[in-house]
Structure 1
Amino acid sequence: MRTLIFRTVAPFLSSLMILFSVFVLLRGHNEPGGGFIGGLIAASALAIYGIAFGVSPVRRAIRFHPMALAGFGLLLAAIAGILSIFSHVPFLTGLWIYPKIFGVEVALSTPMMFDIGVYFVVFGSITSTALALEERERD
């Protein structure tokens, strides 16, 4: 399915899907969405790009091995839980800080850190699987 129309539309569609996945990730703790759904949307974007152009352009686009991204996400999610232990509260208890960035108070939390970790785990594992299947099918 490497038609001219699909190859023309795929980069724009993939970029839009990646942007939307970040939107879903960041709004997900207060409304529907979160790391899991955002990671699935981002992996789907790369799958579309891979179908249009092949596996090697996708691997060049993400720069890191997908399983390394999944491992980083798992580490990030674990750190989000461990931070609560150092604060003498139960594991995975939400903690918030409110730093001022450019004069605007921003709420940063361990639940958001956990969601970002889940995003990377889902993104990395699904992308790795999709790329392996795509490589296998091309051979």
Structure 2
Amino acid sequence: MYDSIILRSVARLMLPILLMLAVFMLLRGHNLPGGGFIGGLVASCAIILQLVAFGPDFARRVLRVNYLSLAAFGVFFAAVWGLPALLTGQPYMTAFWIPDPIPGVGKIGTPVLFDLGVFFGVVGVTTQIALLLAEERNPREASDAGTAAP
């Protein structure tokens, strides 16, 4: 973690911009490049930028969830959206779409909902890994703390 006023100022400014970009990438994923994976990476980069600028405690307050549970939910959510096809006798993950597009969003269907699950899974896994690495104690610091004089 750096104690830089410039880094902290940029991190605060970039958080909403990166999160909006993540949602944009998520929603445009089936017609143009993007989708749940890249949207999830951009969202986790927004949180990791807060981690670098302010530390792990602040980064955990950005989104008050258990990131490992978020990843598990994302995998489950993504897998569920293949089931409607099985219920109609079609192969798993066959896409279903609503007939009319939603203004400003586009067509919504099971692939978009699958991508939403991927988004949650990627945000959960990548952010949890970054937080674990940031919170890991250096073995040298741990041994120095144990031998320090009172």
Both structures adopt the same fold (TM-score exceeding 0.5): yes
- Count of residues in correspondence between the two structures: 137
In structure 1, what is the equivalent of residue 35 of structure 2? 34
In structure 1, what is the equivalent of residue 16 of structure 2? 15
Tell me how far apart the structure 1 counterparts of residues 88 and 129 of structure 2 sit (CA, whole Å).
37
Tell me, yes or no, if structure 1 residue 80 matches structure 2 residue 86: no
Tell me the TM-score normalized by structure 2: 0.83
**Cα displacement string for residues 69-115 of structure 1 (whole angstroms, at most 9, x for unaligned residues):** 111111110111112111221100001124797x99x6320000111
RCO higher in 1 or 2 (8 Å CA, sep ≥ 6)? 1
Tell me how far apart the structure 2 counterparts of residues 93 and 7 of structure 1 sit (CA, whole Å).
45
In structure 2, what is the equivalent of residue 125 of structure 1? 125
Tell me how far apart the structure 2 counterparts of residues 107 and 86 of structure 1 sit (CA, whole Å).
22
User: What amino acid is aligned across from residue 118 of structure 1 in structure 2?
Assistant: V
In structure 1, what is the equivalent of residue 147 of structure 2? none
Tell me how far apart the structure 1 counterparts of residues 42 and 89 of structure 2 sit (CA, whole Å).
36
**Residue 21 of structure 1 contacts residue 42 of structure 1 at CA under 8 Å; is this kept in 2?**
yes
**Cα displacement string for residues 11-45 of structure 1 (whole angstroms, at most 9, x for unaligned residues):** 11122111101100100111001111111111111
In structure 2, what is the equivalent of residue 109 of structure 1? 109
CA RMSD across the alignment: 2.1
Change (3 A) 1:92 1:100: closer
Question: Where in structure 2 are there 5+ consecutive unaligned residues?
Answer: 142-150
Tell me how far apart the structure 1 counterparts of residues 99 and 73 of structure 2 sit (CA, whole Å).
25
**Residue 2 of structure 1 contacts residue 51 of structure 1 at CA under 8 Å; is this kept in 2?**
no
Tell me, yes or no, if structure 1 residue 45 matches structure 2 residue 39: no
Question: Where in structure 1 are there 5+ consecutive unaligned residues?
Answer: none
Tell me, yes or no, if structure 1 residue 93 matches structure 2 residue 99: no
User: What amino acid is aligned across from residue 134 of structure 1 in structure 2?
Assistant: A
Tell me how far apart the structure 1 counterparts of residues 27 and 101 of structure 2 sit (CA, whole Å).
19
Higher strand share: 1
Give 1:4 shift: 0.8
Tell me how far apart the structure 2 counterparts of residues 34 and 2 of structure 1 sit (CA, whole Å).
35
**Residue 73 of structure 1 contacts residue 117 of structure 1 at CA under 8 Å; is this kept in 2?**
yes
Query: Which structure has the larger Rg?
Result: 2
Moved over 2 A (4+): 97-101
